[in-house]
Amino acid sequence: MSIDSDDAWEKAQDELAAAGRSDGLPLVPPTPERIERMLKPHGFRRDAVVAKLMPAFADATWRNIAENAVMAGCRPEYLPVIGAAIEALAVDEFNLLGIQTTTGSATPVVIVNGPVAGAIGMNAAGNALGPGNRANATIGRAMRLVLQNVGGAIPGVGDMATLGQPGKYTFCFAENEAASPWPPLHVERGYAADISVVTVVGASGIVEIVDSSSASAEDLIHTYANSMLIAGTISMSGFIGGGEPLIIMPPEHAVFLSGAGYTKEQVKAAIFETVQYPLARLSPYVRARLMASRRVLDAASVASPVRLAATAKDVMIVVAGGVGIKAAYVPTWSGGTRAVSCKVPAGRA
């Protein structure tokens, strides 16, 4: 669908909503002129398929990605980041079909690293997960609109979430690389520091972690670890937090831990070793079901505590935010998903 005139804003909103294109918020009418302005700076072939999206098994082309980017309120310079996110979502291990159709609250989180984040004005500092930044807000929204309007995740039809979550409107931020004492996420994942990369993570929610009292690194790590002991996030594979949990850590905590001699890998290892959920704390039925699954898999110890992940390397730590000691724990979808990273395409820009 396209709108040929800018004159009737309210009519355009009604038409877009009636066509099932809206996320419930007002949309920028996707006129041909606006779509062309979105595409023109980059030189992407309009009919080139970026990814095949579930559950509709539909091709996401640069043209229909641009259309949804217009509706979301994006600037043209954001388009390559959105395209990289869409490409990453379609990689098998992300399990887009499961995330799109689950009755759970799963939604993709977009994490941006490298020079592009600063170039397009993304917020990695104060309120990085909240409102106030056009790039963060509209890139995440555009991705969600593509998943709905191209991928078929229409609420109540393809998207069967029991409750959903606010992150299904938009969940996008940049890592605060300048304030971090550690290598950023994309470098950990094998990219050079000067490469622009998008990483998508299948998030099932968010939990705030607050600790302004700990006087030692060990005490602070204890707070992080015990904030993650949530029985309702145990995955089908038997891990807490979906098996690849994400910690969004404020710079003050990261600098404190680094100053105490901890590398990021050591923080991950310490959290991994601390997070152990005793089976006795689970309900009898959940405990019996988990133990039965372990017997089938020939687990080394059927009655051992539930762990956070298969290895400490599976724990993700991203430094973001501004002044303060408020962190976030983001458990990943319990149905099975893995984070995926893709390089941002350059186009002609």
- Residues 163-214: pLDDT tens digits? 999 999 999 999 999 999 999 999 999 999 999 999 999 999 999 999 999 9
Q: Is there a domain that residue 76 lies in?
A: yes
Q: Which residue has the higher pLDDT, 1 or 37?
A: 37
Say yes or no: 88 and 237 in one domain.
Answer: no
Q: Please write down the HEC assignment for all residues of the chain.
A: CCCCCCCCHHHHHHHHHHCCCCCCCCCCCCCHHHHHHHHCCCCCCCCCEEEEECCCCEEEEHHHHHHHHHHHCCCHHHHHHHHHHHHHHCCHHHCHHHHHHCCCCCEEEEEEECHHHHHCCCCCCCCCCCCCCHHHHHHHHHHHHHHHHCCCCCECCCECCCCCCHHHCCCEEECCHHHCCCCCHHHHCCCCCCCCEEEEEEECCCEEEECCCCCCHHHHHHHHHHCCCCHHHCCCCCCHHHHCCEEEECHHHHHHHHHCCCCHHHHHHHHHHHCEECHHHCCHHHHHHHHHHHHHHCCCCCCCCEECCCCHHHCEEEECCCCCCEEEEECECCCCCCCEEEECCCCCC
Tell whether 212 and 184 lie within a shared domain.
no
pTM comes to 0.96
Q: Are residue 10 and residue 126 in the same domain, yes or no?
A: yes
pLDDT at 349: 40
* Residue 215 and residue 165 share a domain: no
314 within domain boundaries: yes
> Quick one: 184 and 227 in the same domain?
no
Q: 107-143: per-residue pLDDT in tens?
A: 999 999 999 999 999 999 999 999 999 999 999 999 9
Do residues 13 and 126 share a domain?
Answer: yes
Q: Is the pLDDT of residue 236 over 90?
A: no
pLDDT value at position 72? 98
| 89 and 216 co-located in one domain | no
Kindly state the percentage of the chain with pLDDT values over 70.
97
348: confidence class by pLDDT, cuts 50, 70, 90: low
Mean pLDDT confidence for 235-253: 94
Does the pLDDT value for residue 150 go beyond 60? yes
Same domain flag for 64 and 195: yes
User: Total structural domains in the chain?
Assistant: 2
The reply to whether 158 and 25 lie within a common domain is yes
pLDDT digits (tens, 9 = 90+) for 271-281: 999 999 999 99
Per-residue pLDDT band for 294 (boundaries 50, 70, 90) equals confident
pLDDT of residue 297: 76
> What pLDDT score does 295 carry?
86
pLDDT at residue 42 in the model: 97
pLDDT at 7 over 90: no
Is the residue at 117 inside a domain? yes
Q: Is the pLDDT of residue 293 over 90?
A: no
Q: Are residues 266 and 298 in the same domain?
A: yes
Same domain, 183 and 260: no
Q: Please report the pLDDT score of residue 301 as a whole number.
A: 78
Asked if residue 337 is part of any domain, the answer here is no
Which range marks the domain in which residue 158 is found?
Answer: 1-203+343-349
Do both 47 and 86 map to the same domain?
yes
Overall average pLDDT of the 68-97 stretch: 98
Query: Does residue 232 fall inside a structural domain?
Result: yes
Q: Is residue 311 part of a domain?
A: yes
| Span 89-99, average pLDDT | 98
